Amino acid sequence: MQIEVPDPSSEVTNTTAAIPLEKNIRELSLSLKEDFLKQEKNFRPNSKSSSEAMKKFSNAIADAAQIQREGVIVEKKFAYDGRPVSKIKTPYGTYCVRHPKAGEKPELSPPPIAVSCGQL
């Protein structure tokens, strides 16, 4: 069994090297300029829609910047086990404070600490 190895001198010569390269830079630059102007025209935003979007955005910013003027509000609520809870609403957030039940021994009641309100 013999393996035939092709002769490197018998390979086909590259035909693309024989074609001269035409360098018409003026036509190339004009066609690129036309393509660029077409793309710029297609991607230019509509001035009417952008002004409406800007008004909507500025109104959203103005609404977000308003300060809550009512101060601190304390609501008395009860947890699922009957424990009194104070729900405190401030301009900076809402939290709840658990209180001991009436008649509960102080060593058995949880400390009055701020907790999340959950479903209250």
For residues 116 and 79, give the distance between their C-alpha atoms in angstroms, rounded to a whole number: 12
Bridge partners for 87 per DSSP = 75, 96
How many Å separate Cα 22 from the centre of its chain?
49
pTM score, two decimals?
Answer: 0.39
Secondary structure letter of residue 10 according to DSSP: G
Predicted confidence pLDDT, tens digits, the chain (120 residues): 566 665 555 555 555 556 666 778 888 888 888 888 888 777 766 666 678 888 888 888 887 777 666 788 899 998 888 888 999 988 888 899 988 888 888 888 777 777 788 776
Measured distance CA(13)–CA(40) in Å, rounded? 45
